[in-house]
Structure 1
């Protein structure tokens, strides 16, 4: 369960930006039972979902990129690069005063009923600092703190890390946490596993996450859940069939190299190659009597919204089943506003979300602001200043200036919360003159 995530000096974020999912006391009378997870052992109330608004190029997607970068670096920093390899972090490039500054990431989360705070600072050459704090009950304990290649440890709780540092097995461009997990340290492995479960996907690149849904269709119960989700969207689909490529009967004219690659991947990863995804629809005669079924190709015959929802289904159901945090960039792209509301409702409901999964997404769909689904502390905005630096803030930051009974949608469109584009004239006098001349 995610509590907070912070980043600074990354892409469009010059200064520190923090997404805080701790529920505000200011909103305690609004959808408390539905939208808030109670964690009495830590005295916390955590939000189940959050939505981020902002103008184009204001930082919404870049904030998602920051979390995705942190996840990838934590999991792979010990294996993806050799000694001396650069770190491919994309820092803020529009200000000279931070040209030599580090990029910082920090995350606070609960895993297996225990709280962790982990973070690091990096340059393009090295890990400059790294820290891990553990809070099993009430007191936060420092597990380790790293400054460059100097380390301080709680030796009893992190003996493996102490040994690795003592034997100089932690490279300058790798995280200690990643290296320790590679050497089978239990604590590091637990944290790495949490990061692996954290999912960040782009709502504009359906093919990249569709595999999760495809894998679930082989399980009868999981396939049933996918079909139930599609039924909610009223798409008329009542079954799905995957057409698999028969690797034993590949076309004779297929390039030999391609055949070898497919056979190798199939044997190493037990992957089935899908030639098409067929959706089954009911067929009726002139008297509206059901007479059979007809198959459509998901990619060729169905709408782009149907294709996206099917592709998303696996990640959504995975998060709900296991209680994972799910971040979706551009969730509303190609989907009807009512359907986006339904997806948010799945995460806010204790019935459909008993494991307390979390959904965080960005959108331009202002209808959600008037849906009544979100509290003020669940509504976030990104805004870029005149110098190109983005900031992240919540509607609850306005406190008494914004009543919970106000029309959030109307106020946002009118610019009362900021985070909207200030549009100039689309047709300049010069262009107007050209148009005028053409008409003569």
Structure 2
């Protein structure tokens, strides 16, 4: 469970911004049963979902990229780099001070019934700072704090971290957390496992998780669940089956290196290469009587929206079944607004989401604001100022007398009441019209 995520001096975010998933007390009477996770141990209420709106280039996708960077660097910094390798980080470049300052990331989360707070600061050359705190009950305990290559470590609780520092194993461009997880430290592994439960996807490039969904269809129970979602989406799909690549029938004009790779992979133990997913659709006669099933190619015959929704079913089921976190950039891309609503409803449901999985996504689909699916504290906005720096804020940050629980969120957002919409006055300006007219005269 993610409680809070903060990032500063990263790409379009000059100053520190925070997405807070703790539920607001002002919205206690709004969708409290379905949209809220209650934690009795720490006595807080957490949101099951959050949506981020904003104009183009306002920072919505960059915020998602910040989460993706933190996850990747936490898991891989020690094993995927060598001494002297540059860290792939980009600070805010439109300010002379920030461009030479470190980028900061911090996340507060709950895993295995223990609350953690972990963060780090990095620039392209080194880890500037790193910290990890644990809250087993009511008091937060510092497990370690790092200032460059100087470390303060809880000797009893974080023994392998202390050993790694003593032996000089911590590189200046790698995280202590990443290293100690490799050394099988139980706390570090627990934190890394939480990062692995953070499933991050691009809604524009479903090919990145299409293969995962295909692999899940090989499990009979999961295939049935995928089919249930496909049928519920009213796509006309009755069944799916995998079409395997026949090595003996490879195209003759296939490049030699690709042919050799496919043959090599096919010879590996239990290796099957899927060439396509076939979908079954019902065929009817002139009297609308069902007579047969027709098979379509997922890649050739199905729409881009169907392909994306099919690709999403695997990750969505995985997240719901295990209580993970799903982070999607451009969730609504290629999907009908009603279908997006149904996907969100899966997470904002006490019955369909019993393991309290969470969904965080960004979108331009304003229909969702009028759907009644969200409380004010679940609706977030990014906005960029005249200096190019983006901010992040919630609808719950507005005074309750200016934004009421039941007002028309969609209409008010479109007309700019909450900010976070593009200024398009240039389209109506006289200068713009003159430029167009000049272009026409030149032709």
Secondary structure class of the residue paired with 1:184: coil
Supply the distance in 1 between the matched residues of 2:220 and 2:337 (Cα, whole angstroms): 30
Task: Give aligned pairs, total.
Answer: 439
Supply the distance in 2 between the matched residues of 1:6 and 1:415 (Cα, whole angstroms): 26
Supply the distance in 1 between the matched residues of 2:116 and 2:267 (Cα, whole angstroms): 39
CA contact (8 A) 1:210 1:312 kept: yes
- Structure 1 residues 264-273 or 252-261, which shifts more? 264-273
User: Corresponding residue for 1:407?
Assistant: 408
1:249, CA displacement in angstroms?
A: 5.5
User: Corresponding residue for 1:230?
Assistant: 230
CA contact (8 A) 1:26 1:399 kept: no
1:359-382 CA-to-partner distances (Å, cap 9, x unmatched) read 111011111111110000000000
Supply the distance in 2 between the matched residues of 1:331 and 1:5 (Cα, whole angstroms): 20
User: Corresponding residue for 1:7?
Assistant: 7
CA contact (8 A) 2:51 2:360 kept: yes
1:183-229 CA-to-partner distances (Å, cap 9, x unmatched) read 11111111111111101100000101111210110011101111111
Supply the distance in 1 between the matched residues of 2:260 and 2:79 (Cα, whole angstroms): 27
Pair 1:418 & 2:422 matched: no
1:241, CA displacement in angstroms?
A: 1.2
User: Corresponding residue for 1:191?
Assistant: 191
Pair 1:158 & 2:162 matched: no
From the superposition, tell whether residues 315 and 414 of structure 1 become closer, same or farther in structure 2 (CA, over 3 Å). same
CA contact (8 A) 1:206 1:308 kept: yes
Q: How does 1:28-67 map to 2 (within 5 A)?
A: 28-67=28-67
Supply the distance in 1 between the matched residues of 2:202 and 2:237 (Cα, whole angstroms): 24
Supply the distance in 2 between the matched residues of 1:58 and 1:279 (Cα, whole angstroms): 39
Q: Please give the TM-score of this superposition, normalised by the length of structure 1.
A: 0.97
Pair 1:283 & 2:256 matched: no
- Structure 1 residues 202-211 or 263-272, which shifts more? 263-272
From the superposition, tell whether residues 161 and 202 of structure 1 become closer, same or farther in structure 2 (CA, over 3 Å). same
Supply the distance in 1 between the matched residues of 2:267 and 2:115 (Cα, whole angstroms): 40
User: Corresponding residue for 1:219?
Assistant: 219
Pair 1:434 & 2:438 matched: yes
Secondary structure class of the residue paired with 2:412: helix
From the superposition, tell whether residues 301 and 113 of structure 1 become closer, same or farther in structure 2 (CA, over 3 Å). same
From the superposition, tell whether residues 106 and 266 of structure 1 become closer, same or farther in structure 2 (CA, over 3 Å). farther
1:218-250 CA-to-partner distances (Å, cap 9, x unmatched) read 011101111111111111001011111134654
CA contact (8 A) 2:304 2:334 kept: yes
Q: How does 1:13-412 map to 2 (within 5 A)?
A: 13-247=13-247, 250-251=250-251, 254-265=254-265, 272-400=272-400, 401-412=402-413
Secondary structure class of the residue paired with 2:34: helix
Q: Please give the TM-score of this superposition, normalised by the length of structure 2.
A: 0.96
1:259, CA displacement in angstroms?
A: 3.2
Q: Over aligned residues, Cα RMSD in angstroms?
A: 1.6
